[in-house]
Amino acid sequence: MSPPVALYSNPVDVVVDLAKKELATKNGTLPTVDGTTYKTVEDMQGNWENFKFAPIRESQVSRAMTRAYFKDLDTYAESDIVIVGAGSCGLSTAYMLAKTRPDLKIAIIEASVSPGGGAWLGGQLFSTMVLRKPAHLFLDSINIPYTSTPENPNYVTVKHAALFTSTLLSRVLSFPNIKLFNATCVEDLITRPSPSSPSGIRVAGVVTNWTLVTMHHDDQSCMDPNTINAPIIISTTGHDGPFGAFSVKRLVSMGATEKLAGMRGLDMNSAEDAIVKGTREIVPGLIVGGMELAEVDGANRMGPTFGAMVLSGVKAAEEALRVFETRKGECEE
Q: Supply the minimum distance, in Å, between the C-beta of residue 246 and ligand 48N.
A: 4
186 is in an annotated binding site: yes
Is 30 or 183 the residue whose CB approaches ligand 48N more closely?
Answer: 183
Q: Supply the minimum distance, in Å, between the C-beta of residue 232 and ligand 48N.
A: 16
Residue 101, judged by CB atoms within 10 A of its CB (0-12, 13-18, 19+), counts as: middle
Burial track 292-317 (b if 16+ CB lie within 10 A, e otherwise): bbbbbbebbbbebbbbbbbbbbbbbb
Is 38 or 303 the residue whose CB approaches ligand 48N more closely?
Answer: 303
The pair phi, psi for residue 207, each rounded to 5°, is -110, 125
CA angle 247, 251, 255 (to 5 degrees): 165
10 Å Cβ neighbour count for 63? 15
301 is in an annotated binding site: yes
Q: Supply the minimum distance, in Å, between the C-beta of residue 179 and ligand 48N.
A: 14
Residue pair 258/205 in contact by the 8 Å Cβ criterion: no
- Distance of alpha carbon 316 from alpha carbon 319, whole angstroms: 5
302 is in an annotated binding site: yes
185 is in an annotated binding site: no
10 Å Cβ neighbour count for 261? 12
Is 267 or 330 the residue whose CB approaches ligand 48N more closely?
Answer: 267
- Distance of alpha carbon 130 from alpha carbon 123, whole angstroms: 9
- Distance of alpha carbon 189 from alpha carbon 284, whole angstroms: 12
Q: Supply the minimum distance, in Å, between the C-beta of residue 295 and ligand 48N.
A: 10
Q: Supply the minimum distance, in Å, between the C-beta of residue 1 and ligand 48N.
A: 45
118 is in an annotated binding site: yes
Beta bridge partners of 225: none
Is 151 or 224 the residue whose CB approaches ligand 48N more closely?
Answer: 224
Residue pair 154/135 in contact by the 8 Å Cβ criterion: no
Q: Supply the minimum distance, in Å, between the C-beta of residue 31 and ligand 48N.
A: 44
Is 205 or 244 the residue whose CB approaches ligand 48N more closely?
Answer: 244
The pair phi, psi for residue 31, each rounded to 5°, is -70, 145
256 is in an annotated binding site: no
Is 165 or 199 the residue whose CB approaches ligand 48N more closely?
Answer: 165
239 is in an annotated binding site: yes
Is 29 or 154 the residue whose CB approaches ligand 48N more closely?
Answer: 154
Beta bridge partners of 286: 233, 283
Q: Supply the minimum distance, in Å, between the C-beta of residue 197 and ligand 48N.
A: 22
Residue pair 155/74 in contact by the 8 Å Cβ criterion: no
Cα→Cα distances 195→65, 176, 206, Å: 44, 37, 20
Instruction: List residues near ligand 48N by CB under 6 A.
Output: 84-90, 109-112, 117-119, 185-186, 236-239, 243-244, 246, 266, 290-292, 301-303, 306, 309
Of 253, 208, 200, 8, nearest to 109 by C-alpha is 208
Of 172, 309, 287, nearest to 230 by C-alpha is 287
Is 199 or 237 the residue whose CB approaches ligand 48N more closely?
Answer: 237
- Distance of alpha carbon 292 from alpha carbon 234, whole angstroms: 11
Q: Supply the minimum distance, in Å, between the C-beta of residue 303 and ligand 48N.
A: 5
- Tell me the residue number closest to ligand 48N, measured at CB: 87
303 is in an annotated binding site: yes
117 is in an annotated binding site: no
Residues marked as binding?
89, 110-111, 118, 186, 224, 239, 291, 301-303
Question: Which residues contribute to the annotated binding site for substrate?
Answer: 89, 110-111, 118, 186, 224, 239, 291, 301-303
